[in-house]
Amino acid sequence: MNNHQVTRGMQFTGAVVLSIALLAGASCKKSSSGGDGAKPPIVIGITADASGQYAASGDSDRRGVLMAIAEFNAKGGVLGRPIKWVHLDTETTPATGSRVAERLIKQDKVAFLVGAMSSGVANAISQVAQKYGVIYLNTNSSSPSESGENCHRVKFVWDGNGNNFAQASVKGAIGKFGKKWLLITNDYGWGHDTSNGTRKLVTKNGGTIVGEILVPQGTRDFSATLLKIQQYSPDVVAAAVGGDDLKAMRAQVGQMKLGSKYAWINNQQDWPDVYGLPRTDLFGVFGTTWYHGFDLPGVKEFVARYQKENADSKIKTPGNVFYNGYWATRSLLEAVEKAKTTNNVAVIKELEQWKIPAKDRMQDHDAYMNPKDHQLQQTVYLASANLDSTNPDDLFKIVSNTAPGEVEDKDSEAKCKLEAYEATPAYEP
């Protein structure tokens, strides 16, 4: 060993220590402050995406969670404990979701995890959450597998999924538009799941599938697909295209004004994705769980509160994503209050029996949690573009509403195997 190498060893040591010290020194958390009360705060870890494909929806999701938290803090918190929060970006990447969940649980010592847009990220987070027994609310990922093969005892799903929407739309559409159906399927798990659900319902109700066009993930140019659709000339086009692919397809269908040529049946259209777009881009019939234009009691007040607390948001009216984030968090905190403890199993048992009356929920029917697969059963709406209005916020026209009992996703329920209570580690933050 010579001198030169010794100094190099020191160099490395120095560099390591220096960089850690620098970065760690800068580490203060982007989170709520306050909470000097006698009782320790309850910390909620928000895992909404801030970058990547779902950044815009993740932002809405986060705002919904924050409004529910603010509501409870105004009442003095839960169980006398103030509620704090930490938000980390999951980058719409499962591997990052996994790391972020570890960080939130082990370092930030969160009591609960809330927030999801992409099912891949939600899976990654729920797996870590299940390992530690931390309750995780999947607010907005609408893949059927979330309450199917990837369900977990600690995870609760608050959005309607593809199968729910398909059940709400297919039967009526066959009667109204015709029997020749064409499927446009995003070529990945979610797309195939959704299209298979539609296919089953179509054949069950006497329709025929004339073809299926698989669209690879990441497709930006749909010209070939749109030509192919015309060559098939179906009565109904059922599209299961998601994320940025859908945004590109929307723009191209709108441009060619193909939206009115066929009866399009689309999956759920998230409010942050369509907000600000021209109406021609919103073609066909699509699903949603909530709309700010509902003529139901409480909606106006809800919208006013959103506008007051989110003046900085580019989205001037709350949509389904915000609504789900809000309701998931609110239900969780109410369940904690009702259970009188933060013990995970006690809260899980409360949530499994959770019921939300229609008038609170601002939907047409009561909503309830399915204890077998942990998916909230709620009213499902079909909507189309509102061509009668020029108000930029009044984009949707609600076509129908279907009670939760009629759109149950039995396929997913059958695939779901929840872990036993005993197999879920105890966690009481």
Partner 1 sequence: MALTNSVTTKSALAGARGVGWVTRPMLVTLALLLSFPLWAETVGLYPYLGIEVVIWMIYALGFNLLLGYTGLPSFGHGAFFGVGAYAYALCHQSITQNPLVALFCGALAGGLAAALVACFIAHRRGIYFALMTIACGQVFWFVSMKWHSLTGGEDGLLNIHRATMSLGVAHLNLQGNITVYYFVVAVLAICLVFLWRLVHSPFGKALQAIRMNETRARFVGYNVWLTKWAVFALSGAFAGLSGGLLAIAQESAYPNVMSVHASGFVVMATLIGGGTVSFWGPLIGALVFIVARDLLGALTETWLLWYGLLFMLVVLFKPEGIAGAWQGYKDRLFRRAAAIPPPITREAENGSV
Partner 2 sequence: MNLLPHVVNGVALGVLFGLLALGFMLIVGVMEVINLAHGSLFALGAYLAMEIISPRWLGAAGEGFLALPLALRYGLALVLAPLLVGVLGMGLERAVRRTYGKKAEYGLLLTFGAALVLEEAIRIVWGPGEQNLPVPDSVNGGFVVGDLIYSRYRFFAAALGIVLMALVWVFLERTPYGARVKAGAHDSEMVRALGINISRLRVFVFAFGAALAAIAGIILTPIWGLRPHVGVDAVIPAFLIIVLGGVGSFWGAVIAGQLVGITVGITGGFAAEWSMMSMYLLLIFVLTFRARGLLGKKSALEA
Q: Which residues bind partner 2 (CB under 8 A)?
A: 50-53, 55-56, 58-59, 187, 213-221, 223-228, 230-231, 244, 247-248, 250-252, 255-258, 261, 272-278, 281, 314-315
Residues that bind partner 1 (CB under 8 A): 1-2, 4-17, 19-21, 23-24, 26-30, 50-51, 86-89, 93-95, 98-100, 102-103, 106-107, 119-120, 123-124, 127, 131, 145, 150, 187-190, 192, 216-217
111 in Cβ contact with 43 (< 8 Å):
yes
In the complex, minimum distance from the CB of residue 184 to partner 2, in angstroms, rounded to a whole number: 9
Strands 208-215 and 180-186: parallel
Residue 75 contacts which entry, partner 2, partner 1, none (Cβ below 5-8 A, type-dependent): none
The one of partner 1, partner 2, none whose footprint includes residue 145, by CB under 5 to 8 A per kind, is partner 1
Cβ within 8 Å of residue 149, ≥6 positions away: 415, 416
Nearest CA to 325 among 351, 377, 290? 290
Residue closer to partner 1 by CB (options 20, 224) is 20
| Residue whose C-alpha is closest to residue 122's, from 176, 179, 61 | 61
260 binds, among partner 2, partner 1, none (CB under 5 to 8 A by kind): none
The interface partner of residue 360, options being partner 1, partner 2, none and the CB cut-off 5 to 8 Å by kind, is: none
CA separation (Å) from 195 to 105, 163, 165, 201? 36, 9, 12, 10
Phi, psi torsion values for 22, nearest 5 degrees: -60, -50
Nearer residue to partner 1 within complex by CB, 7 or 391: 7
Minimum CB–partner distance for residue 335 and partner 1 (Å):
27
From the list partner 1, partner 2, none, pick the one residue 33 interacts with, judged by a Cβ distance below 5 to 8 Å according to partner type. Answer: none
- Which of the choices partner 1, partner 2, none does residue 304 contact, using the CB cut-off of 5 to 8 A by kind? none
Shortest Cβ distance from residue 217 to partner 2 (Å)?
8
The least CB distance from residue 188 to partner 2, in Å, is 10
User: Which residue number, 166 or 274, has a Cβ lying nearer to partner 2?
Assistant: 274
- Measure the CA–CA gap between 324 and 305, rounded to whole angstroms: 16
CB contact at 8 A, 80 and 62:
no
β-sheet bridge partners, residue 46: 87, 114
Q: Tell me whether residue 276 or residue 425 sits nearer to partner 2 (CB atom).
A: 276
> What DSSP string runs through 6-57?
HHHHHHHHHHHHHHHHHHHHT---SB-----SSSPPEEEEE----SSTTHHH
Structure tokens at 300: 């106006």
Distance CA 53, CA 112 (A): 25
Interatomic CA distance for residues 235 and 200, integer angstroms: 17
Q: How far is the CB of 33 from partner 1 (least distance, A)?
A: 14
Residue number, 27 or 33, with CB nearest to partner 1: 27
The encoded tokens of residue 91 equal 């980058």
At its nearest, how many Å lie between partner 2 and the CB of residue 395? 13
Measured from the CB of residue 70, what is the shortest distance to partner 2 in angstroms? Answer: 22
Burial group, residue 359, by CB count within 10 angstroms (0-12, 13-18, 19+):
exposed
Q: Which two tokens stand for residue 98?
A: 């996994």
Q: Which is nearer to partner 2, 42 or 315 (CB)?
A: 315
Q: 132 vs 232, which CB is nearer to partner 2?
A: 232
Smallest gap from residue 314 Cβ to partner 2 (A): 4
| Among partner 2, partner 1, none, residue 371 binds (CB under 5-8 Å by kind) | none
- Residue number with CB closer to partner 1 (106 or 204): 106
How far is Cα 266 from Cα 275, in angstroms, rounded to an integer? 17
349 binds, among partner 1, partner 2, none (CB under 5 to 8 A by kind): none
Residue 159: name its binding partner from partner 1, partner 2, none (Cβ under 5 to 8 Å by kind): none
Nearer to partner 2, 258 or 385 (CB): 258
Tokens at 169, concatenated: 């739309």
Residue number, 145 or 289, with CB nearest to partner 1: 145
Shortest Å distance, C-beta 322 to partner 2: 13
What does 210 bind: partner 2, partner 1, none (CB cut-off 5 to 8 Å by kind)? none
Structure-token pair, residue 32: 């709520």
- Cα→Cα distances 93→47, 60, 63, 117, 131, Å: 11, 18, 21, 11, 20
d(CA 231, CA 100) in angstroms, rounded, equals 47
